[in-house]
């Protein structure tokens, strides 16, 4: 008698089913169908894959995560996750579902910009959404990106018309509430020609004993446009976070992304930037300060597809307790991308014997007239500097704080919104202390 066995992946996918997307326009249903088709061929990445060498997902594939809309969210619990003193258009998502009650959507009278949820935009602004949504994420081989494409419930939609500037930052708050939640928020941010936008995306937890946040951010930066994005990951210690950020930049545009993975159980970030026009600047920064047994894995990919572009990458990590920080940064310079300036730096400080850091810079250069550099360091606390401060009467605890703040501060200085910088600094300062 034949026995029917079912793989972890198949069971996992079955658990994600049952959502009704039939109300969506055909073009969007097609994206989901394609993703489902890809998922048939794919599986959870294993350590055998070079880019997943240090991050093991066996835990996730066995857990019965399911999409769940949250019920009875108390206002105070949402408010607790706002960033103090941040004046912004706020969009709140709970378990990946839009929470209109706690959000302020905005549509400028003249249509200069739109800040709303993606489901609304899919109906009302289909001509803006259609050319962009899923454009960058047709990556057939990315299990989690396809998972998000297939099952995403909602997300933020930000559109800034040509030559316009968003008068306030947009703050997208993603909350998780409930046990065994699988949340698939997906944001789409479009800055048209010469437009400007600042977007803050934060991931936080109301309460959960076990959750999966599988998120995708797609950013389009048109000719001469400027987009700054700050991504703060502050979920509880029971949450797996698998994120993918994609940006496409056109001629003379600037895109800056500051990533602050502060809390969670496991965080994986895949950041991919395509410099698809001449004269672009991309800035990628990561401020990582970890304690407890969190595992954080940042993978970055900058594709210099066109000449005369700059990319500046700075990731710094302070790792305490049994925490682990992985960095894998790849810079690809196409053979036509002459006069490329690509700089990458990754510095790590290990604060305890059990803390771990892995750093893998990769340069792949096919043009011959470029300036590229990369450097990585993994070291201990600077004892000489510590003694110098103490010899001047500064307590050991204060001295350590001063030195760590200086180390990470270089990254945080890139966050232009003061309230966000303060919020990130506070999260980091808290993690300087051991949890043991």
Partner 1 sequence: MLKINGLKAEINGKEILKGLNLEVKPGEVHAIMGPNGSGKSTLASVLAGREEYEVTGGDVDFQGEDLLDLSPEQRAGEGLFLAFQYPVEIPGVSNINFIKTAVNEVREYRGLPNLETKEFMKLLKEKQQLVELSGKLANRSVNEGFSGGEKKRNEIFQMAMLNPKLGILDETDSGLDIDALRIVANGVNELKTKDNAFVVVTHYQRLLDYIVPDFVHVLYDGRIVKTGTKELALELEEKGYDWIIDEFKETV
Residues in contact with partner 1 by CB under 8 A are: 383-385, 387-396, 398-399, 402-403, 405-407, 409-410
Residue 62 or 395 with smaller CB distance to partner 1: 395
Question: The tokens of 75 are what?
Answer: 């206002």
Q: How far is the CB of 389 from partner 1 (least distance, A)?
A: 7
Question: The tokens of 249 are what?
Answer: 């930049």
Q: How far is the CB of 139 from partner 1 (least distance, A)?
A: 38
Residue 257 or 347 with smaller CB distance to partner 1: 347
Q: How far is the CB of 369 from partner 1 (least distance, A)?
A: 31
Q: How far is the CB of 287 from partner 1 (least distance, A)?
A: 13
Read off the DSSP letter of residue 66.
B
Residue 139 or 394 with smaller CB distance to partner 1: 394
Q: How far is the CB of 422 from partner 1 (least distance, A)?
A: 17
- Burial (CB count within 10 angstroms: exposed 0-12, middle 13-18, buried 19+), residue 80: exposed
Residue pair 264/237 in contact by the 8 Å Cβ criterion: yes
Residue 223 or 405 with smaller CB distance to partner 1: 405
Residue 106 or 389 with smaller CB distance to partner 1: 389
Q: Per DSSP, what are the bridge partners of residue 285?
A: 258, 314
C-alpha pair distances (Å), 314 with each of 260, 361, 409: 12, 12, 12
Distance CA 307, CA 279 (A): 7
Q: How far is the CB of 274 from partner 1 (least distance, A)?
A: 32
Q: How far is the CB of 238 from partner 1 (least distance, A)?
A: 34
Residue 23 or 395 with smaller CB distance to partner 1: 395
Distance CA 138, CA 283 (A): 24
Angle CA 353–358–364, to nearest 5: 165
Helices 26-41 and 143-151 pack at an angle, to 10 degrees, of 140
Q: How far is the CB of 398 from partner 1 (least distance, A)?
A: 6
Question: The tokens of 181 are what?
Answer: 């939640």
C-alpha pair distances (Å), 173 with each of 54, 145, 196: 29, 20, 21
Q: How far is the CB of 320 from partner 1 (least distance, A)?
A: 19
Helix (H) or strand (E) holding 67, with range, is: none
Q: In this structure, what are the phi and psi dihedrals at residue 296, rounded to the nearest 5 degrees?
A: -125, 130
Order of strands across the sheet that contains 170-177: 97-98, 89-94, 170-177, 196-207, 226-234, 254-263, 281-290, 310-319, 340-350, 370-380
């Amino acid at each position: 008698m034949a026995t029917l066995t079912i793989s972890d992946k198949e069971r996992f996918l079955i658990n994600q089913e049952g959502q009704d997307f039939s109300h969506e326009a055909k073009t969007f249903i097609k994206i989901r169908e394609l993703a489902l088709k890809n998922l048939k061929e794919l599986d959870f990445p294993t350590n055998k894959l070079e880019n997943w060498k240090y991050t093991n997902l066996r835990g996730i594939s066995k857990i019965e995560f399911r999409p769940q809309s949250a019920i009875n969210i108390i206002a105070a619990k949402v408010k607790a996750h706002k960033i103090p003193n941040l004046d912004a258009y706020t969009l709140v998502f709970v378990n990946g579902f839009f929470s209109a009650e706690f959000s302020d959507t905005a549509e400028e009278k003249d249509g200069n910009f739109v800040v709303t949820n993606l489901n609304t935009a899919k109906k009302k602004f289909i001509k803006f959404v259609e050319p962009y949504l899923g454009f960058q994420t047709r990556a057939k081989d990315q299990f989690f990106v396809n998972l998000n494409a297939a099952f995403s419930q909602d997300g933020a939609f930000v559109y800034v018309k040509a030559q316009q500037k968003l008068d306030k930052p947009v703050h997208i708050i993603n909350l998780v509430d409930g046990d065994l939640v699988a949340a698939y928020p997906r944001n789409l941010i479009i800055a048209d020609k010469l437009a400007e936008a600042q977007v803050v995306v934060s991931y936080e937890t109301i309460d959960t004993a076990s959750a999966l946040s599988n998120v995708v951010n797609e950013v389009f930066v048109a000719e001469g446009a400027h987009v700054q994005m700050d991504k703060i990951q502050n979920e509880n210690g029971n949450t797996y976070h698998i994120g993918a950020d994609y940006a496409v930049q056109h001629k003379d545009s600037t895109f800056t992304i500051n990533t602050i993975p502060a809390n969670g159980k496991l965080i994986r970030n895949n950041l991919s930037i395509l410099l698809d026009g001449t004269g672009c600047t991309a800035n990628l920064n990561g401020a990582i300060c970890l304690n407890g047994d969190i595992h954080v894995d940042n993978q970055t990919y900058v594709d210099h597809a066109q000449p005369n572009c700059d990319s500046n990458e700075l990731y710094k990590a302070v790792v305490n307790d049994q925490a682990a920080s992985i960095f894998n940064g790849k810079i690809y310079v196409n053979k036509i991308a002459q006069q490329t300036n690509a700089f990458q730096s990754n510095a790590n400080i290990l604060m305890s014997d059990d803390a771990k850091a892995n750093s893998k810079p990769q340069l792949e250069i096919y043009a011959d007239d470029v300036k590229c550099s990369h450097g990585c360091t993994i070291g201990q606390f600077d004892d000489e500097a510590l003694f110098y401060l103490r010899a001047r009467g500064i307590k050991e605890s204060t001295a350590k704080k001063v030195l760590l703040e200086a180390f990470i501060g270089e990254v945080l200085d890139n966050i232009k919104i003061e309230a966000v910088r303060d919020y990130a600094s506070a999260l980091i300062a808290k993690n300087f202390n051991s949890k043991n």
